[in-house]
Chains A and B, each alone.
Chain A
Amino acid sequence: VCLCERVTAGELRDALGGPVPARTLDGLRRRTRALNGRCQGFHCGAAVRAAFDAAAAATEVRP
């Protein structure tokens, strides 16, 4: 997903869905380095946020 720092969709999924999930976009950024590279989200910003929003929505639905 993040091309500058070479972070894959699987790494984002793990960070968002593990036993201690990242709960903010900034947390996800610090954990995986996604959005932290030379382009600072020019390429991947939207995709990373979409992945985060999807995971956040999924945990809210859970009882």
Chain B
Amino acid sequence: VRHERSVDVLVVGGGPAGLTTATELARLGVGRVEVVDRGSELGGIPLFCEHTGFGLRDLRRSLSGPAYAARLVDRAAAAGVDLRPGVCVTGWDGGALLTTSPDGLARVEAGAVVLATGARERPRPARWIPGDRPAGVLTTGQLQRSVRHGLTVGSSAVVVGAEHVSFSAVLTLRHAGARVVAMTTERGRHQSYAAFRFAAAARYRFPVLTGTRVVRVVGRDRVQGVDVVGPDGAGRRLECDVVVLTGDWVGEHELARAAGVGLDPSRTAPLVDTLLRTALPGLVCAGNLVHAVLTADAAALDASVAAASALAALRTGSALGPGAAPGPFPTAPLVAGVGLSRVAPGLVALAEPPRGRVVVWPDLARRRPELEVRQGGRLLWRGRAVRPLVPDRPYDLPAGWVHDVQAPGPEVVVSVSP
């Protein structure tokens, strides 16, 4: 037996972006807003991060991950959002979504759908790390969930990667009683804030090995160590019984792709414009699905734009789902140029007033370079970065130039000026 129900807006994913978007929509007066999440608890990634530092930019306070998640859930419930954890969306059926849960199968019709499915870290097979295949090679996500389940994780760890999340992994490892042997990154420096790096390294006394690549995992049943090659080409073995692969995020874009939405050139995110609309009317994407990854509070700040776009789609009342007519708005592709490895979103449409965000991922370290946006050689915007560019650390670009874009039109290129 399949249950049928119908809602105004269905939000897929109950993390910071999904919950905040749903709250916003309910406050804007949308009647039936529903959040489904395949996890047994709502809150997303922050649920598994016991350390503090959540909610700085959206709630203006510093909370632990679970406390932050609980607050977002309370706000959504108070706004009248229908919250359904333990519901997994399995696919599309025309314009409706099919779900499965302990209560059985259901088919949900929605006037608009917001995908806020978040991101995952690239696992070992996708990183092409050779060697033995023992137990004890994890991603941060698996590590943090294991610790929350009360499972043992090991006693000495090598952390691969040096982004914000890598330092989050260090805190979790310490909480679980494991010693950090070293942190390695292929980049020339770590990609987190200097304060984190020095505080963590001083408190827990581990070296950050820069320009270092993991070339082999060693161990029969359990990890015994990893072989690394340093910047000078010299190899050595780091003894450990856990390897944590951190960062290198990929958006959970399977549902968007199943609907027929294309991917951006980085292949990690569905194509959306600065208002987070996809080419399909009524289908909006938000949070780290679009920009894998920003911090939880930054993902939550997508909510006002995502909610406005979902509301606009509701008003026009267009059909949804695979095979639906492409959206009525013309776009131009937005791509990363010199000095940048990635830009999100992958499309620009004319938007009045210009709002939304553009995030770029630098490929080089530069103190305060000039950035520029050009379309077919025409300069749209140029300005000096307000803080240093660090490879792979996302940087928010002002989006005021969006109303000067010619759409449809040639590629819009963001680059670092020489």
Contacts and interface: CB of A to CB of B under 8 A. Distances in A.
B151 interface: yes
Nearest to B126: A40
Contacts of A6: 90
A39 B88 contact: no
B135 A45 contact: no
Nearest to A53: B151
B143 to A, nearest CB: 9
Contact of B124 (A3, A40, A47): A40
B153 to A, nearest CB: 10
A50 B149 contact: yes
Contacts of B126: 40
Contacts of A25: 135
B139 to A, nearest CB: 5
Contacts of A45: 138, 142, 145-146
B121 interface: yes
Interface in A5-60: 6, 25, 39-43, 45-47, 49-50, 53
Interface in B99-141: 120-121, 123-126, 135, 138-139, 141
Contacts of A40: 123-126, 139
B38 interface: yes
Of listed B120, B138, B145, B146, residue having the most chain A CB within 10 A: B145
Interface string B151-184: 1000000000000000000000000000000000
Query: How many interface residues does chain A have, given as a range?
Result: 10 to 19
B205 interface: no
Contacts of B146: 45-46, 49
A25 B133 CA distance: 13
Please classify the interface of chain B as helix (H, G, I), strand (E, B), loop, or mixed, using the class held by over half of its residues: mixed
A27 to B, nearest CB: 12
A22 to B, nearest CB: 15
Nearest to A40: B123
B135 to A, nearest CB: 7
B288 to A, nearest CB: 13
A45 B140 CA distance: 11
Contacts of B123: 39-42
Given A40-B124, A42-B121, A47-B145, A3 B138 contact: no
A3 B255 CA distance: 13
Contacts of B38: 3
Contact of A46 (B88, B120, B148): B148
Contacts of A47: 145, 149
A22 B263 CA distance: 39
Given A40-B139, A43-B120, A47-B149, 20 more contacts: A3-B38, A3-B88, A25-B135, A39-B120, A39-B141, A41-B139, A41-B142, A42-B121, A42-B141, A43-B141, A43-B145, A45-B142, A45-B146, A46-B146, A46-B148, A46-B149, A49-B146, A49-B149, A49-B151, A53-B151
26 contacts: A3-B38, A3-B88, A6-B90, A40-B123, A40-B124, A40-B125, A40-B126, A40-B139, A41-B123, A41-B138, A42-B121, A42-B123, A42-B139, A42-B142, A43-B120, A43-B141, A43-B145, A45-B138, A46-B148, A46-B149, A47-B145, A49-B146, A49-B149, A49-B151, A50-B151, A53-B151
Interface of B: 38, 88, 90, 120-121, 123-126, 135, 138-139, 141-142, 145-146, 148-149, 151
Interface of A: 3, 6, 25, 39-43, 45-47, 49-50, 53
A-B interface, 7 closest residue pairs, ranked by CB to CB distance from nearest: A40-B123, A46-B145, A45-B142, A42-B141, A46-B146, A42-B120, A46-B149
